[in-house]
Amino acid sequence: MVLEVTMIVVLPGREDDFVDAYQLARPLVAGSPGCRSVRLQRSLGSATRFVLLTEWDSPEAHEHNFRRTDRFAQWRALIGGALAQPPLAEYFTDIRAGQDLFTR
């Protein structure tokens, strides 16, 4: 399992529009094969900053079952008008207890 962390910055004054669009678009992500969970969080320090946390079976599940499908185009069409810049996404994985953080 991997966690996709996506930093999202929306246009000032469009925060509520973005949240409304996210509510409509969320099922497109959540219904993708390999998607385990999706949640959106808003910054307490900056009203225009959000973090989208999406758990996937693997990066490949995300790529093949969402990014390369019409679901992604529909997602981007719904939320895109409120974005101030392209979102920045990165995958993360859990550290096992006792695992050396500096060993690759």
Structural domain total, the chain: 1
Q: Is residue 100 part of a domain?
A: no
Q: Is residue 33 part of a domain?
A: yes
CA distance 32 to 75: 12
Range of the domain at 8: 2-92
Q: Is residue 49 part of a domain?
A: yes
DSSP per-residue letters across 61-77: HHIIIIITSHHHHHHHH
User: 25-70 pLDDT, tens per residue?
Assistant: 999 999 999 999 999 999 999 999 999 999 999 999 999 999 999 9
> What pLDDT does 97 receive?
76
Q: Is residue 18 part of a domain?
A: yes
Question: Three-state DSSP class for 57?
Answer: coil
**Residue 80, token pair as written in the block:** 């895109």
Q: What is the CATH number of the domain that holds 77?
A: 3.30.70.100
